[in-house]
Amino acid sequence: MKKTIRDILITFSLILLCFSLQSFLTIKEFNSDSVIKNIGYLSSDTFKGRLPGTFENKQTAEFIKNTFNNNGLTPYNKTYFHNFYCYYPMKISGNPYLKVINSKNEIIKEYSYGKDFKEDMLNFRENKFTFSKDSQVVQAKNVIQIKNGNNIFIIYSPENNKLNFRSSFMKDDICNMYIMVTQDVLKDLKRNINIGYKISCFIPYTVQKALIPNVVSCIKGVDSSKPPLILSAHFDHLGQDLKGTMYPGALDNASGTCFLLELSKYIKSLGTPNRDIIFVAFNAEEFGCIGSKVFAERFYNKIKDSTVINFDMIGGNQSVPLCIMGSDKDNANTPLIKDTSYRCSSEHINFNYMFEDASDHCSFRSKNIKAITFCDNDISKIHTPSDRVEFINKNSINRCYKVVSKQIVDYGFSSNLFLIYYKEFSILSIVSLILILRPKHKAN
């Protein structure tokens, strides 16, 4: 009887060892160093800030497509590139100016671009204006509002008196153009307006229509009729200013994109999932989540019952909690958010909530599709030239992976414990075999 039990234990341990070793040999581990390396590449001068509508944005899409392909993912709906139209701010010829003109049309003062004034990127429906105290002008502490007919222009001084922040572009914003100036320049402009001088401004941008891509790939599952799991991140950012100063967008959101690419390599190595897993790199998030809105609308019938996990800013300062972001209609008891928070608690991960339509999850939540965004809500450097790869935190990347990898195995691989604990199973089976097979010493 003892020999039979011993043989059963040996057989079980050998089977466990075989399965765990197979997983050990086939699974390509998630590598946060590779994530950081790719963040450095996408946020480098090569891609010039990845502004939608530019050649460099298309280059970024090509890099993502090639990485998906190299990782063994197939095109979704027969193509990697899912194109759509959007409007973007295009540079045109000419030099920017902000100047003061007297009653004789003489320029009495011209301010320095980048030092005294700079465009904010919200809108360029009009790119020049001239006004005086006879115009419709409203002056407040930190702002001057000018109305010319139906056109509204804003000159304002940022609270920190710095001109390095760049807003997202919003074609339908109520104002036609925004200009940032220092506090001293704002005071000077007000003084010159009040004595009767004119203020004239020109910023060489125009709003242009462009055809741009989302990049979409897929790992086919055993049963494609099941609702898919969708993993996503946006890859666009804010380009360069008129002096060529680049907005790298390392954290926002080369980080989420490169996290997604590394996930695709890891998940593909796990084998065939029980359902399709779709990977989407969205474009034009910085223009109002346009790419995700197009995707959610275009494929609604296929994805209406899916679960969406989006990544936006992964690798921020580790002192900042991992944020589970839902829409403004969600709360801590929304099922997907509640499940995710439980996982964070189980892994002893510091987390918090945000309920805002501030990333691509909103495009799905507006259609009642289950969706969240993981975010390291470290806003200290985003949308500035200081959002560089050297500030990316490896531990924060691993923190997010620790949570989402188990979610993916649960949703996409029927909670297969071998895929999560294959290393532990290998050790357990080896130790078991050693204990069972070790020679027994007879007592004298």
Q: Does pLDDT of 7 surpass 60?
A: no
Q: Shortest CA distance to 164 belongs to which of 383, 391, 392, 316?
A: 383
pLDDT tens, position by position, 200-254: 999 999 999 999 999 999 999 999 999 999 999 999 999 999 999 999 999 999 9
Task: Single out the residue in 203, 221, 250 at which a domain terminates.
Answer: 203
**pTM, 2 dp:** 0.91
> What is the CB neighbour count within 10 angstroms for residue 111?
19
The Cα–Cα gap between 361 and 326 comes to 7
φ and ψ of 268, to 5 deg = -60, -35
- Residue 278's alpha-carbon distances to 142, 231, 232, in angstroms, are 46, 6, 8
Q: Shortest CA distance to 334 belongs to which of 387, 103, 342?
A: 342
Number of structural domains the chain divides into: 3
pLDDT band at 435 (very low <50, low <70, confident <90, very high): low
Co-location of 323 and 432 in the same domain: no
| One-character DSSP codes across 125-189 | SS-EEEE-TTSEEEE-SSEEEEEETTEEEEEE--TT------PPP-TT-SSSEEEEE-HHHHHHH
Task: Single out the residue in 159, 181, 203 at which a domain terminates.
Answer: 203
Residue the block writes with tokens 């010039």 = 48
Co-location of 176 and 284 in the same domain: no
Strands of 362-422, DSSP E: 370-376
Task: Single out the residue in 174, 203, 232 at which a domain terminates.
Answer: 203
CATH number at residue 64: 3.40.630.10
pLDDT tens, position by position, 297-350: 999 999 999 999 999 999 999 999 999 999 999 999 999 999 999 999 999 999
| % of the chain exceeding 70 in pLDDT | 88
What domain range is 366 assigned to? 31-86+210-413
pLDDT tens, position by position, 355-365: 999 999 999 99
Co-location of 188 and 251 in the same domain: no
Co-location of 187 and 315 in the same domain: no
Co-location of 65 and 124 in the same domain: no
Co-location of 378 and 422 in the same domain: no
Co-location of 254 and 395 in the same domain: yes
Q: Shortest CA distance to 285 belongs to which of 229, 355, 206, 232?
A: 232
pLDDT at 362: 98
pLDDT at 430: 64
The Cα–Cα gap between 256 and 387 comes to 14
The Cα–Cα gap between 252 and 311 comes to 10
Co-location of 361 and 429 in the same domain: no
The Cα–Cα gap between 142 and 165 comes to 16
Co-location of 283 and 389 in the same domain: yes
The Cα–Cα gap between 137 and 190 comes to 10
Co-location of 81 and 145 in the same domain: no
Pairing of strands 229-234, 307-311: parallel
Co-location of 267 and 387 in the same domain: yes
Q: Does pLDDT of 67 surpass 80?
A: yes
Co-location of 82 and 227 in the same domain: yes
